[in-house]
Every structure is written in C-alpha cells, then in structure tokens.
C-alpha cells in the first residue's frame, strides 16, 4: 500500500456515483475519503446513520488492494457483505460463524487480489494465522469500526480491541481509520491513545438531529401513556418501541394490537425466522410499530421511522442517543419519547449493585446511569444537554424539546428531602433498611400491618409527610436517587444514604425538584 500510485482527482466521487448511485458525499465523508486515499490516518466521529461506512468503503475501492474492516458486529457481517455484493463490490468476511470451506474461499480471493473489502472480527485478526494471511495480501487500509469498543470506560468494551494497536506496528504503511458514533471527549482521547492514532486527523460531525423532538415524561401507566401518545401524535406512522425485557416486548406488542395498532415483537428469544420476517416486514411495510429490545436496530436503515419510544430507561446517554437516532433519518419531523419512573431508577441501580464486575466497573456503569438520569431530570433544554454530553457545549435552548416547549416548574424540595433522609437515618440506626413503599407509608402515617409490627409508628418521622401524596413522595424518592442523594442497596431495592446525603440533612444544600405534571386521566385504569 505504501507505493500505491496516486489516485486521479475525483476518483472517489466517480466510485460513489458509479457503484452507489449517490450524487455526492455528505458532511465529512469527502474529507475523510481524501485523507485515506492520500495514505493518512483518520478518526471519525459521526452519529448513527451519518454515513460512516462510505468513509472506508469508497477509499477501499479507490486504493489498490483490499480494505480490511475490523468489526465486532459478527451477526451483521453476512448482511453487509450481501449488500455490497448486490452493488457489485467484491466483499467477504472471516469470522467464527463460517464453515471451513467458506473461509478457505475467502482467503483464496484475498490472496488473489480479488477482494475490495474484507470484514474481520477482532478476535480473528489476533490469530497469528490471520496475520500471516494479511502479510501475503495487499491491504488498502484498515477500518476499525465501533472504535469506542476500545474504551474500558465505555458501554461496549471489548478486550480484543486493546490489541489493535498492533495494526500499525505490523503494517506501518497502511492507513487506518477508526470510526464511532460515541463522541464524548474522553472516549475520543482514549481511542486515539489506545489505537496509537496520534497522527490521525479528527473528523467530528455535528451530532444534532434537529428534526427529532425529545420528550421525557413521568411514568404512570406506561402502556396507556404510549397508546395516548401514538393516537394523538403518530397515528398510522412507523416507529420503534423499546422495552427492557422480552416479556414486556410481548405484552406491549399484544396490547397495541388489541388497540388496533399493527405491532410486531422483536427480541433475541424469538425464533430466528420470526425475527427475520418481522424485521423485513417492518422495513417494507408502512405504519408498523416494532416493539423490541435493544437487540433490534443495529444496522437497520429505514428512513421514515417517525418515532422511537422507550418504555424503560436506557442504561446510558450513548444508548439513548443511538436508539433515538433511528428516528427521522429522512430529515422529517420525528419524536423521541421516553417514559420513566422511580421503579426504573431502583431497578437499574439494583442491577448495577448486584451485577458482575469489579468496583471500578460498577462505578463506571453508575456514572453512565447518572448521566442518563441527569438528562431525564433536567429542567433546561434536553438537546443542549445531550449535545454538551457529546462534546458540543453551549448550543443554547433548541425550542424543539419538551423542556423548551413547556418549561417545567420547580419547587424547593429541601424539607421533604430532609424528612425522607432522616427517616432513612433513623431506621439505619436500628440497623434496618427498607424500600420506597415502606418509607412512604411511614411518612404518610399509614398504620399498615408491617409498619405496626415493626414498631415504626414510634419513629419521630411517622406521619410527618402529609403535605405530599403517595405519588408526590415517589417523585421525591426518584429525584433523590437520580441526584445521588439516596442509594439503592442489595437485592430488594432497599434505600440507603450516600456521602452527599449529609449535606441535605445538615441544611447545607437546597434541593430543587421538578413539579410532577398532573396525572393524565386514562379511560381504563392502569396499563402496567
Ligand atoms: P452509519 O454507519 O454511520 O450509521 P451508514 O454508513 O449505515 O451510517 O449510512 C446510513 C445511510 O445513509 C445508508 O443508507 C447509506 O447508504 C446512506 N448514505 C450514506 N452516505 C450517503 C451519501 N453520501 N448520499 C446518500 N446516502 C448516503
Ligand atoms: Zn430544547
């Protein structure tokens, strides 16, 4: 590759038009392509749907030799290769899902110089045999897709990615491009360091998706709220509804169907053929709602998805942005709608506390969740906060998110916060921990069987919280959890103090809370 003859000017555009039938490059694509064709390294940060693939596919065709794409998405490789083959691009892949004779055929094609693109799983590349194979091939470039997988603090860490710095040690003349849709400054720096891309030019796309309206609402009866949202704003539209569990995917899809909204389920527990059939119906037909776990969506390219709804809280802002980014790729107005409540916060904190991994890993997951919660509870522009998170601070209010359109009211929640926290303290002194339901019973002065049996009517905080109702208190607990002023411990969602709790108890810190919106009247009770 070091002695590739210079490409004629406009060779890249010619390839783009001839092979893909597109008129022109978008955004940073042209500049990235030029950089690689000239044999230099690049680091590309572009949102999902931004067009990262062409950044390495086009130069792979223009430069002599094969473009080698390192990708962790093994399940998508066959599809990617099929899509390229349909365009007349000679592509192949090497991964663990392959039969030996398929692998041998791909290796032959590579050595014979008959491949434009080769997709490789990172673990394949690290096998000495594969490295010897590449030694004997002519390589146009290396593309490291989903490059944020190298980040130990990211949400998709892959240990194999840490060893990819070997690419330029073993093949120093071959240009490399790392691509990701995760653009926090910290991740970007980590990618550059770990992949030894110090000399790479950085291309950072605008992450704003102005046609998406962001809305996050308090969870009351999620299915009914979803139904009301769809009927009022997206009747007859295509969209995706994300749920955390397979069971809630099934339930929600059946619920929508029962209300006359055509909906299909999608999760990893479904038969492969059912999954494939549902996916292709969603892509082909109009007005279908795909109810799915986050397993659905990677590599899905449907331009007219009008809404993405989350019935459960995403684990990170990165995940939220990626999932909501599947709406409105055609640039038409679209909605990202999320409903979340106290139970989401408790459940996720609990999952982190009881999950695998060491303390550092748990802290990391906790930080990701905190950022997501901060986005949920913010009283300022959601988009501004989202863009600041992705390294574009100071954009100002957008005028196209719920907090801009209907600025939330806040109230001084310091005193209720103190009442709740001091109840936790008092129980803690007795060596006891309880969940939110029991604490609220105490504050409301309810003489439930459990409260009486445990002697909690004796607590000085018993019955001192009647200024709020049950729902108001749940809002307080949720916001304290979100702000890190309360913690979830153990398996049962028991609440405990954090280091920061003391500042509130001692009156050193005021706690501003969002006013919970009026509960919407629903026709037939609770949906979940
Ligand atoms: P990403 O990998 O960044 O999520 P893709 O590479 O899958 O995005 O591209 C998203 C969609 O945009 C694809 O359908 C792709 O064909 C289309 N696309 C990308 N670049 C262009 C372009 N220059 N002109 C027209 N369509 C494009
Ligand atoms: Zn806004």
The pLDDT value given to residue 266: 95
Does the pLDDT at position 524 exceed 70?
A: no
Q: How many angstroms separate the alpha carbon of residue 334 from the centre of ligand 1?
A: 19
Indicate if the pLDDT at residue 391 is higher than 90. Answer: no
Query: How many angstroms does the Cα of residue 118 sit away from the middle of ligand 1?
Result: 19
| Cα 339 to middle of ligand 2, angstroms | 17
Mutate to test the pocket of ligand 1, among 44, 50, 51 (most ligand atoms within 8 A of CB): 51
Cβ of 27 closer than 6 Å to ligand 1, yes or no, is no
| Listed range (199-203, 331-335, 393-397, 412-416) with the worst mean pLDDT | 393-397
CB 160 within 8 A of CB 367: no
Q: What is the pLDDT of residue 76?
A: 81
The CA 19 to ligand 2 mean position distance, Å, reads: 40
Candidates 186, 88, 89; CA nearest to 140 is 89
Helix (H, G, I), strand (E, B), or coil: what is residue 250? helix
pTM score, two decimals?
Answer: 0.75
Q: Is 324 in the pocket of ligand 1 (CB under 6 A)?
A: no
How much is the pLDDT for 1? 46
| Residue 248 scores a pLDDT above 60 | yes
Please state at what angle helix 470-482 crosses helix 342-354, rounded to 10 degrees. Answer: 40
Residue 53 in contact with ligand 1 by CB distance below 6 A: yes
In the numeric block, the tokens 């359109």 are attached to: 405
Q: What is the ipTM of this complex?
A: 0.97
Spatial CB neighbours of 291, under 8 Å, sequence gap ≥ 6: 240, 241, 243, 249, 252, 253, 256, 263, 264, 265, 266
Categorise residue 196: left if φ over 0, alpha if ψ from -120 to 50, beta otherwise. left
Residue 526 pLDDT: 39
Residues 6+ positions from 426 with CB-CB distance below 8 Å: 459, 460, 461
User: Cβ atoms within 10 A of the Cβ of 384, count?
Assistant: 21
Protein residue with its CA nearest to atom 19 in ligand 1: 51
User: Is 46 a pocket residue for ligand 1 (Cβ < 6 Å)?
Assistant: yes
Q: What is the pLDDT of residue 44?
A: 96
Looking at the CA of 397, which ligand is closest? 2
For 68-94, how does the pLDDT look when each residue is reduced to its tens digit (9 = 90+)?
999 988 878 888 899 999 999 999 999
Average pLDDT over residues 343-370: 86
Strand pairing report for 289-292 and 263-266? parallel
Query: Is 45 in a helix, a strand, or coil?
Result: strand
Question: For residue 527, what pLDDT is reported?
Answer: 37
Query: What backbone torsions phi and psi does residue 318 show, to the nearest 5 degrees?
Result: -60, -50
Per-residue confidence (pLDDT) for residue 364, from 0 to 100: 79
Q: Which ligand is nearest to the CA of 303?
A: 1
The pLDDT tens digits of the residues spanning 194-229 come to 999 999 999 988 889 999 999 999 999 999 999 999
Asked if 66 contacts 116 with a C-beta cutoff of 8 angstroms, the reply is yes
**What DSSP element (H or E) covers 356?**
none
End-to-end Cα, the chain, rounded Å: 59
User: How far away, in angstroms, is 53 Cα from ligand 1 center?
Assistant: 7
What's the mean pLDDT in 361-390? 88
Q: Enumerate residues 6+ apart whose C-beta is below 8 A from 269.
A: 246
- In this predicted structure, what is the pLDDT of residue 301? 75
Distance, in Å, from the CA atom of 494 to the CA atom of 107, rounded to the nearest integer, reads 56
CB distance 326 to ligand 1 below 6 Å: no
Alpha-carbon distances of 200 from 26, 36, 57, 73, 250, rounded to whole Å: 20, 10, 18, 24, 46
For 5-39, the pLDDT digits (tens) are 666 668 999 999 999 999 999 999 999 999 999 99
141's enclosing H/E stretch is: strand 139-144
Residue-wise pLDDT for 262-317, tens only, equals 999 999 999 999 999 999 999 999 999 999 998 787 667 789 999 999 999 999 99
Rounded to whole angstroms, how far apart are CA atoms 447 and 470? 14
Is residue 2 pLDDT above 60, yes or no? Answer: no
Distance in angstroms (rounded) separating the CA atoms of residues 461 and 452: 14
Owner of token pair 């909906």 = 263
Q: How confident is the model at residue 491 (pLDDT cuts 50, 70, 90)?
A: low
d(CA 303, CA 175): 32
Give me the chain's average pLDDT, please. Answer: 91
């Amino acid at each position: 590759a070091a002695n590739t003859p210079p490409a004629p000017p406009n060779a890249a555009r010619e390839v783009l038009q001839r092979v893909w039938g597109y008129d022109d490059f978008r955004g940073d694509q042209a500049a990235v392509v030029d950089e690689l064709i000239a044999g230099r390294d690049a680091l590309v940060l572009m949102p999902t749907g931004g067009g990262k693939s062409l950044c390495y596919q086009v130069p792979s065709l223009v430069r002599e030799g094969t473009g080698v794409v390192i990708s962790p998405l093994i399940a998508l490789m066959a599809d990617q290769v099929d899509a390229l083959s349909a365009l007349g691009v000679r592509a192949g892949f090497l991964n663990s899902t392959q039969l030996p004779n398929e692998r041998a055929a791909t290796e032959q094609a590579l050595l014979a110089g008959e491949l434009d693109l080769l997709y490789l799983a990172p673990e394949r590349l690290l096998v000495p045999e594969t490295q010897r194979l590449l030694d004997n091939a002519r390589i146009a470039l290396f593309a490291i897709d989903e490059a944020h997988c190298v980040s130990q603090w990211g949400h998709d860490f892959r240990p194999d990615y840490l060893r990819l710095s070997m690419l330029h040690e073993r093949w120093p003349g071959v240009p490399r491009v790392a691509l990701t849709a995760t653009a926090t400054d910290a991740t970007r720096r980590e990618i550059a360091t770990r992949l030894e891309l110090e000399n790479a030019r950085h291309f950072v796309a605008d992450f704003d998706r102005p046609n998406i309206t962001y809305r996050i609402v308090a969870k009351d009866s999620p299915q009914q709220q979803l139904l009301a949202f769809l009927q009022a704003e997206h009747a007859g539209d295509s969209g995706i509804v994300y749920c955390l569990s397979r069971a809630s995917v099934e339930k929600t899809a059946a619920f929508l169907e029962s209300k006359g909204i055509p909906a299909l389920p999608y999760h990893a527990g479904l038969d492969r053929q059912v999954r494939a059939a549902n996916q292709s119906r969603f892509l082909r037909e109009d007005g279908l709602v795909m109810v799915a776990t986050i397993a659905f969506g990677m590599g899905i390219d449907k331009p007219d998805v009008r809404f993405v709804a989350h019935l459960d809280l995403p684990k990170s802002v990165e995940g939220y942005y990626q999932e909501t980014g599947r709406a409105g790729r055609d640039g038409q107005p679209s909605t990202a709608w999320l409903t979340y409540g106290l139970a989401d916060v408790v459940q996720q904190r609990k999952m982190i506390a009881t999950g695998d991994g060491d303390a550092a890993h748990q802290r990391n997951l906790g930080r990701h969740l905190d950022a997501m919660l901060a986005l949920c509870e913010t009283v300022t522009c959601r988009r501004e906060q989202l863009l600041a998170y992705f390294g574009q601070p100071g954009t100002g209010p957008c005028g196209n998110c719920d907090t801009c359109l209907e600025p939330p009211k806040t109230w001084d929640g310091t005193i209720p916060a103190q009442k709740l926290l001091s109840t936790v303290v008092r129980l803690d002194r007795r060596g006891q921990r309880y969940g939110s339901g029991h604490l609220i019973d105490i504050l409301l002065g309810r003489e439930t069987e459990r409260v009486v049996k445990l002697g909690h009517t004796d607590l000085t905080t018993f019955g001192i919280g009647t200024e709020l109702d049950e729902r108001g208190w749940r809002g307080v607990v949720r916001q304290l959890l979100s702000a890190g002023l309360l913690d979830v411990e153990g398996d049962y969602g028991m609440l405990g103090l954090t280091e920061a709790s003391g500042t509130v108890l001692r009156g050193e810190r005021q706690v501003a809370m969002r006013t919970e919106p009026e509960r919407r009247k629903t026709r037939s009770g609770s949906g979940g």
